Amino acid sequence: MNAAPVVGLAGADSDVEAFVAAHARATPFHSARWGRAIETTAGHRWHPLVARNPAGTIIGLLPLHHIRSRLFGSALISSGFAVGGGILADDEATAEALATAARDLAISLGLSSIELRGGTMPTGWAIVRDSHLGFERPLAATDEEELAAIPRKHRAEVRKGLAAPLSVTVGRDRRARDAHYAVYAESVRNLGTPVFPRRLFDAVLDAFGDDADILTVTQDGAPQSSVLSLYWRGSVMPYWGGGTRDARSLRANERMYFALMGHARECGMARFDFGRSKTGSGPAAYKKNWGFEGVPLAYAHWSANGTVRDMNPTSAKYRLMVNGWQRLPLWLANRVGPVIARQLG
């Protein structure tokens, strides 16, 4: 009979990184690089639980952020500010041991809620499979083939973006970061969402090094669209992107994503991971217009009182807040937003 795995906090970040590097299903959101970036910039304590066999070898991982939020309620999340995470284990016993340890940790911290974004689904937890969709497909071999893979109606929009007098730059320096933050902050304000702290983007770029960059589309030197992307095991992940109010008429977003596909191909990537979107949302429809098929994502929830946190900004509970935020002056949204956005997790 096999001995039960022993679960505790990882002794060193290097142990987590070694396990993530060796595990086929690991995501960037399981890594210590991501965990520490969130902890140091948003203040959410990172708790990397690891399961070890009798020999002391790590055989499972569950990285958790303690999200403190007055708006949505505090919880343990795997992983904070991420679209992925969850239990990383190859057998049921290890997965269940990590789930049990997560519940014990939540109780010890006085928390009544845990959310796992992907990974192995624990037995007895509430599983949600209809809230979000993931969008991913292979990159084509050439720009011409990439255009042909886009449905006809949206292909015409992409062609307009390619024909427009726009320029594309890729970088990681201060100028690239300034342009990205200015565009992203305006974009999320227009959507009614507080912007994340600037130092969060800086920390992720610094932590991931050559595995992250910023692509920006400009018109006459003025940034119109910009996206911060991660590169992970052959996939490009446009993670934080947006555009100005003029980006839509300029088709700057179309130019941006198509340019990113070409740039990623040149960097040796084979897949384009368009990320997650809420089921039935405008962003989900936009990704389908590009020829991506949505795949349901599984999230696991544990609650001491049986109640799942309401984190949907489109719900009636938050609709007035979103509408009000959209009307804020940009300077005020940028000043107040990072304080609120830290609570989103």
pLDDT in tens, 206-228: 999 999 999 999 999 999 999 99
CA proximity to 212, closest of 268, 171, 263: 171
Q: Please report, to the nearest 10 degrees, the dihedral formed by the alpha carbons of residues 335, 315, 85, 205 taken in order.
A: -20
- 321 or 173, greater pLDDT: 173
Q: What's the mean pLDDT in 142-151?
A: 97
* Calpha distance 167→160 (Å, rounded): 14
Residue with tokens 């933050």: 181
For 277, the 3-state DSSP assignment is strand
- 307 or 106, greater pLDDT: 106
Contact 155, 291 (CB under 8 A): no
Question: How far is the CA of 235 from the CAs of 85, 86, 274, in angstroms?
Answer: 16, 19, 10
Q: What's the mean pLDDT in 292-315?
A: 79
Backbone torsion region of residue 64, taken as left when φ is above 0, otherwise alpha when ψ lies between -120 and 50, otherwise beta: beta
Residue with tokens 């770029």: 205
User: Which fold is adopted by the domain 6-129+298-311?
Assistant: Aminopeptidase (3.40.630)
Checking if the pLDDT of 341 tops 80, the result is no
Checking if the pLDDT of 22 tops 90, the result is yes
Q: Residue 290: what residue type?
A: W
Contact 167, 218 (CB under 8 A): yes
CA 319 from chain centre, in angstroms, equals: 23
**% pLDDT > 90, the chain:** 80
Q: What is the pLDDT of residue 3?
A: 77
Superfamily name and number for 134-294: Gcn5-related N-acetyltransferase (GNAT) (3.40.630.30)
Average pLDDT of the chain, as a whole number = 91
Q: What's the mean pLDDT in 145-152?
A: 97
Q: What's the mean pLDDT in 13-39?
A: 97
Residues of the chain with CATH 3.40.630.30: 6-129+298-311, 134-294
Checking if the pLDDT of 174 tops 80, the result is yes
Q: Of how many residues is the chain composed?
A: 345
